[in-house]
A and B are shown apart, each in its own frame.
Chain A
Amino acid sequence: MDAGALGSQLVLGLSRGMLYFIVAAGLTLVFGVLRIINFAHGSFYMLGAFLSFTVTEMMGKQNPNGFWLALVVAPLVVAAFSIMIERGLLRFVYGQEHLIQMLLTYSLVLIFGDLVKMVWGTEFKSVSVPGIFIGNLSLAGIIIPVYYVFMLVVGPLVALGLWLFLTQTVTGKICRATATDRQMVDVLGINSTRVFGTVFALGGWLAGLGGALMAPMVNIGMGMDTSMVVYAFLVVVVGGLGNIWGTLISALILGVAEALGVLFLPNLAIVVPYVVIGILLIIRPSGLLKSVW
């Protein structure tokens, strides 16, 4: 085992973690503020990937601008969908029990799954990696595909953007306050449901972004909603429900642990994340960080 391989694996683990973070961040954000477990998050992710496919197809498969346009358009369309869902459906159940709210989002999973099949068909789809990201970057024995370097840049940018939103804007501050103590926010006369639309759209945007970012790496097809969202749920639980920084930490830990597992225990790599999750949950049953930003 040479140092280059180990170094590459660590960096790849980090980029994998960033990817988990981008998908899971929206989930935990919506949970923290709206107190809704949004099962449809995976559907938004899938929708983002499929929209990205459509945009790149319309731009012409070899057009390098297609990817960038998709990166902008797909998350926005998903966010628009999210707003419609929040305004048109979710807000009628805010006074209801958690279970009712959750099952509403689950009905969307079922509906979106079949709608995507109706619109795009069942065949596998693929989005090309834009020209400038093809190939490997090689530095001191560490070899990384360029696209992963890009992911390593986007991940922290998303985290930074979220941090700015939550600490520097009024809406963000209301979000944090709502997540920490909703009764207090209501007592202060701030209508906490007012920010719900924004947050839900932001959650959808993040899922759509995750889908669009993943599109050049994965096989776009039926079932990609559930295979990702279950993992995102685990990341969110380990990180501490509703806590974005906890999610970031747990996503990175999981990403690196998985990558190292692949290197050192390739035979049992699939078990490694579950063992890590199990250990973390035994040590800290309520997540790594508390639900306060």
Chain B
Amino acid sequence: MQLRRIIPWIMLAVLLVLPPVLPRYYLYLLASIFVIALLATSLNFILGFGGLLQLHHAVFFGVGAYTFSILLLKTPLPFVVAVVAGPVAAAFTALLIGWFCVRSRGLYFGMLTLALGQLVWAVIFRWSALTGGDDGLHGIPVPEVFNSLKTAYYVTLTVLTVCLAVLYLILKSPFGLTLMATRDNPVRSESVGINIRRHRLAAFVIAGFFAGIAGVLFVLVEKSVSPSLLSWSKSAEIMIMCLLGGLTTFYGPALGAGIIVFLSMKVGTYTEYWLLVLGIILLVLVLVLPQGILGFLAEKYSGRGGDKGGWGKDASG
């Protein structure tokens, strides 16, 4: 369908011309949405397309953010090195955790990501000499240019666009297609000679890398980090975003991130019961619309139902 191809470009064009007319608060809100959108998309890369139950994705987000912050704050290394080191550290953490996890499957995989992710959280929480403990690190000395909201807006938007493009290309590449094949039918994939574990590990590391990029962007926008970035509830929040937008769709998680971040700020102005509202949204979503908004639209308008595959039917396989 032609229209569906055009929509992302229209979105991008609108977002590019918006800043001059937007109040500065909405510039900030959109910039933080872009950061979380990248994080959610990186999670969906393995969760939706890789079929891997990654339950603690925020860990890589946090590791990226912390590495970047610590290098800027405590070492004289140039900015560029720190920018690169953030995602690399996240990818390396993903390699370590993934190396343990890909040996088990389905829910076991999920539980291990949760347990090991929690260990990383504990290290960051405890190692206060380096990470500031639960007080976090504040006033990260990012270059002056990022103090302008407009710069932050354009930088996050650009990085988000580039990263989405790269992730999209990876998914359309032989590697991505193989990844989806291991999700849809692991047994057959293995029998045609695909090394499932290595494939999944590679996908896990790629997702961790992009989550690390999101972590660096977060610091550029907020200039502070704290252990709540890699908390368990943060990971759950990203999963909710993926589900809301549609796990089987490429742009779904970004849409979900936009909706959740926007709602959390809006609902927060009326009530202190935002988590209750989020819980009810999630409950209704799970029961009535488990395919997500974009998944639903795709089903309705194309009759094909997007890239439905056999997601999760064999998540234990």
Contacts and interface: CB of A to CB of B under 8 A. Distances in A.
Interface string A252-273: 0000000000000000001100
30 contacts: A35-B107, A37-B55, A37-B107, A89-B287, A93-B286, A97-B290, A98-B53, A98-B107, A98-B110, A98-B315, A99-B47, A99-B247, A100-B286, A100-B290, A102-B110, A103-B286, A104-B287, A107-B279, A107-B286, A108-B279, A110-B279, A114-B279, A115-B276, A233-B111, A234-B115, A237-B114, A241-B108, A241-B111, A277-B115, A285-B100
Nearest to A97: B312
A106 interface: yes
The residue in B239, B273, B280 that gathers the most chain A C-beta atoms within 10 A of its C-beta is B273
A167 interface: no
A274 B119 CA distance: 7
Nearest to A100: B290
A192 interface: no
A109 interface: yes
Contacts of A98: 53, 106-107, 110, 312, 315-316
Interface in A79-95: 89, 92-93
Interface in A218-273: 226, 230, 233-234, 236-237, 241, 270-271
B119 A277 contact: yes
A270 B275 contact: no
A274 B122 contact: yes
Contact of A96 (B47, B107, B126, B290): B290
Nearest to A271: B126
The residue in A93, A113, A114, A274 that gathers the most chain B C-beta atoms within 10 A of its C-beta is A114
A93 B288 CA distance: 10
B312 A278 contact: no
B100 A110 contact: no
The residue in B106, B247, B276 that gathers the most chain A C-beta atoms within 10 A of its C-beta is B276
Q: Is the interface of A mostly helix, strand, loop or mixed?
A: helix
B207 interface: no
Interface string A149-190: 000000000000000000000000000000000000000000
B286 A104 contact: yes
Interface residues of B, number: 42
Nearest to B231: A226
Interface of B: 47, 53, 55, 100, 103-104, 106-108, 110-112, 114-116, 118-119, 122, 126, 232-233, 236, 239-240, 243, 247, 273, 275-276, 278-280, 282-283, 286-287, 290, 311-313, 315-316
Interface of A: 31, 35, 37, 39, 89, 92-93, 96-100, 102-104, 106-111, 113-115, 118, 226, 230, 233-234, 236-237, 241, 270-271, 274, 277-278, 281, 285-286
B112 A110 contact: no
Q: Is the interface of B mostly helix, strand, loop or mixed?
A: helix
A107 B280 contact: yes
Contacts of A97: 290, 311-313, 315
Contact of A285 (B112, B114, B118): B112
Contacts of B107: 31, 35, 37, 98, 241
Contact of B239 (A99, A109, A285): A99
A99 B100 contact: no
B283 A107 contact: yes
A98 B311 CA distance: 10
B315 A104 contact: no
Contact of B282 (A106, A270, A278): A106
Given A111-B280, A226-B232, A230-B232, A286 B104 contact: yes
A152 B268 CA distance: 45
A106 B282 CA distance: 8
